[in-house]
Chain A
Amino acid sequence: MKTAQASKRHPWLSIHSFLLMAFIYIPVLLIIVFSFNDSRMSTSWSGFTWKWYSTLFDNRTVMEALSNSLTIAFTSTIISTVLGTMAALAIRKMQNRGKQGVIGLLYMPIVVPDIIMGLSLLILFSQLKMDLGKMTVIIAHITFSISYVYVIVSSRLANMGKQLEEAANDLGASSWQTFRFVTLPSIWPGVIAGALIAFTLSIDDFMISFFVSGPNSTTLPIYIYGSVKRGISPEINALCTIMIVVSVMLIILAQWLLGRGKSDKEKGGSLLPF
């Protein structure tokens, strides 16, 4: 009711919103639309087809890149989720002055430009004489994913407060039982949401992976970057469309998990740092 009145009063507001949305989404929509275009040329529309999706799945290089991406994403997600959750639990218990410093250091990978992260990791790996490959990409992805998992899980922990754990302790639960039966079930949606974000970030990452991947660890974004140099093909559009759909679904799932189990009052505000 109120918004309807507001838009009546300011006709320019809706036009402005429309233009802004168009600016953001037209490029993405173009990729999706042309992934169904029957012509090889991205300039004109010549009919609807699914064929680029089927040729995509017949392309061995693409399938290999997909398999690399999934291996890296699953491995780095599991490890970073465990480490990020442990960090959130440990930092909550800290009481000394170092606490703010540790939190600041954990936030760093979110703030530091990807290109610097990538470059510094590359230098580190060459200093350690590590061969670039899936392992180095996994380590790199864990490095930045921990921060995101930490942010999400620690805000969930802060929401939970300490009373539930005190109640469990009072009812005879040991520290481990309290964690197992009360803390973990309470923060579980946050842990899963953190894992989904970590997975999405890993699948989508180009910049850092580009620096630390080797010849046999080409991920989907790196494959796309390489093939675009030879011109944009409809298969690439189809691949991008699939990645867009998967990423958006994962983020929606994460948001839904974070919203669950909270009162209506708390709902609405996103916990994601971006």
Chain B
Amino acid sequence: MTLSTDNGKGLMLMIRLENVEKHFAGQPVVHPLSLTIDEGEFLTLLGPSGCGKTTILRMIAGFEQPTTGIIRLDGEDVTQLPPNKRNLNLVFQHYALFPHMTVEQNIQFGLKMKKVPAKEQRERIDEAIRLTQLTALAKRYPHQLSGGQQQRVAIARAIANKPKVLLLDEPLGALDLQLRKNLQAELKQLQRSLGITFVYVTHDQEEAMMMSDRIVIMNTGKVEQIGSPRDVYERPETLFAATFIGENNIFHEERLFTVRPEKVRVTPELADTRKTGIIQDIVYLGNVHKLVIHLENEPTSVTSVLDFTDQRDWSIGQKVGVHWNLQDEVTVGR
């Protein structure tokens, strides 16, 4: 393994985890993991709670020590460095704003600690405030702000330091759905314009799909799959990955394979079809409608998603044929 920071694609490597492993009280919470993250990449650690994603983030930040393994930041081994010596910043799940400081003082804190000259402090504070649209709130205290505004302050406080990497621990988890959607778009936009590497932790697969360049799907401390949103959706490698992201139909035959519901075709004719079944449920969702079909002679149901072009009349209890193309079958491991 070379220590080069070039990943061969012309992009610089920003973070490299080499066989990083973490045990708490003898129990493995993160199984040996090797991972590289490019400069300017938006990488998401996705998984259910307790899967080890936050522990990985905290190890990169320096709040947890890996039991074994090495963490490199921009080529430098930072495994033994305390958090205040690492050139990256963490946005905490509950923001962790300093309650006795104004918005401006919160943002200034990191610059003051790093003894940035006063003039540059001013410029960086102003820039961070402008980028996060906090100009009108600069003199307020955190308790005078809404959740979404506090979230913006937490991000402004982090980016003012111009970190090489921004780590975000479920930063939108405490916000309601509509606000979360808006902030997702804002965050993605911010990441593009700053060009900073983002490592983002979430349990929300839709959020991960929408924002990330690459997704690391995790389950019980192990990586299930690493890939672009398209990769993990179209070519899931494990059963967990296939079912955690989006809806999927699972088939246990000679092998284990999946077929996405939008790849499943339904016909009223029963001849020359792959399978036959009875319509169990029809779900109308506006832009699409879903048929749930109970297969004949098999203990499984198949979901088919049909779009607006499908004008046929379906009825519950109707016997139908079910088709899909061979190339839409995705073989998965367990």
Q: Tell yes or no: A26 within 8 A of B by CB.
A: no
Contacting residues, chain A, for B114 (C-beta < 8 A)? 172
Closest to A172 in B: B113
Contacting residues, chain B, for A169 (C-beta < 8 A)? 63, 82-84
Mark A174-199 against chain B: 1 for CB-CB distance below 8 A, else 0. Answer: 10010001100110000000000000
Contacting residues, chain A, for B317 (C-beta < 8 A)? none
Mark B197-213 against chain A: 1 for CB-CB distance below 8 A, else 0. Answer: 00000000000000000
Interface residues on chain A, size class: 10 to 19
Q: Which of B97-147 contact A (CB under 8 A)?
A: 97-100, 109-110, 113-114, 143
A171 near B63: Cβ-Cβ < 8 Å: no
A166 near B100: Cβ-Cβ < 8 Å: no
Closest to B154 in A: A167
Contacting residues, chain A, for B158 (C-beta < 8 A)? 171
Q: Which of B159-191 contact A (CB under 8 A)?
A: 161
Known contacts A170-B83, A171-B113, A173-B84; A163/B98 CB under 8 A: no
A177 near B113: Cβ-Cβ < 8 Å: yes
Q: What is the bound-complex CA distance between A6 and B161, given in angstroms?
A: 58
Mark A145-165 against chain B: 1 for CB-CB distance below 8 A, else 0. Answer: 000000000000000000110
A163 near B82: Cβ-Cβ < 8 Å: no
Shortest CB-to-CB span from B96 to chain A, Å, is: 4
Provide the main secondary structure of the chain A interface. Answer: helix
Mark A239-269 against chain B: 1 for CB-CB distance below 8 A, else 0. Answer: 0000000000000000000000101000000
Contacting residues, chain A, for B56 (C-beta < 8 A)? none
B92 near A167: Cβ-Cβ < 8 Å: yes
Known contacts A164-B98, A186-B100; A172/B84 CB under 8 A: yes
Shortest CB-to-CB span from A157 to chain B, Å, is: 14
B100 near A163: Cβ-Cβ < 8 Å: no
Contact among A166, A173, A185 with B113 in the assembled complex (CB-CB below 8 Å): A173
Contacting residues, chain A, for B90 (C-beta < 8 A)? 166-167, 170
Contacting residues, chain A, for B96 (C-beta < 8 A)? 163-164, 166-167
Contacting residues, chain B, for A171 (C-beta < 8 A)? 84, 89, 109-110, 113, 157-158, 161
Q: Which 5 A-B pairs have the closest CB atoms?
A: A171-B110, A167-B96, A172-B113, A163-B96, A173-B113
- Which A residues lie at the B interface, using CB under 8 A? 163-164, 166-174, 177, 181-182, 185-186, 261, 263
12 further A-B contacts with Cβ under 8 Å, apart from A163-B96, A186-B99, A263-B143, are A166-B90, A167-B97, A169-B63, A169-B84, A170-B61, A171-B89, A172-B110, A172-B113, A172-B161, A173-B84, A174-B113, A186-B100
Q: List 5 A-B contacts (CB under 8 A).
A: A168-B98, A171-B109, A171-B158, A186-B99, A186-B100
